[in-house]
Amino acid sequence: MAPPFQRHVFVCTNRRAEGHPKGCCASKGAEAIKDKLKAETKLRGLKGAVRVGSAGCLDTCEHGVSIVVYGSKEPQGGTWYARVSLEDVPAIIDEHLVGGRPVERLLMPTAPAAPAPAPKPEP
Ligand code: FES
């Protein structure tokens, strides 16, 4: 059975070829941001409550580095962050992952629509 994480942080680490019109989060430092989030959550004893991982393209490339946080403590559709930099990691951890309040200044201006609920299985 999967661990009961309260929050699952997905950092887009998608990489595209240099010069691609959409750009990519990898070229904006996504791997270092993910690594710092992982290290800091571990240091602060959040392992078990918060899981940090990589995601492929979140389809919000123009806002990269893009991050989405899902979990039982998050709104349906998750909390989306835009243009995250390495310097923003402490705020995301302190204010959101520990304090429970999303970092307003980093919220994505137009969060992607919440995914449709999963269909119910046939009886
Ligand atoms: S490359 Fe990161 S959201 Fe598309």
For residue 83, what is the domain's CATH number?
Answer: 3.40.30.10
Q: Is 123 contained in some domain?
A: no
CA–centroid distance, 24 to ligand 1, in Å, is 5
Give the angle subtended at the CA of 27 by the CAs of 14 and 53, to the nearest 5°: 40
Residues 48-65 pLDDT 10s: 899 999 999 999 999 999
Q: Is 112 contained in some domain?
A: no
**Domain carrying residue 83:** 7-106
> What is the number of structural domains in the chain?
1
CA–centroid distance, 16 to ligand 1, in Å, is 9
Residues 63-94 pLDDT 10s: 999 999 999 989 999 999 999 999 999 999 99
Q: State the Cα–Cα distance between residues 66 and 81, nearest whole angstrom.
A: 6
To test the pocket of ligand 1, the residue of 33, 34, 58 to mutate (highest count of ligand atoms within 8 Å of its CB) is 58
Between 102 and 5, residue with greater pLDDT? 102
Q: Which amino acid is at 115?
A: P
Q: What are phi and psi of 43, to 5 degrees?
A: -60, -35
- Per-residue pLDDT for 122 more than 70? no
The answer to whether the pTM exceeds 0.75 is yes
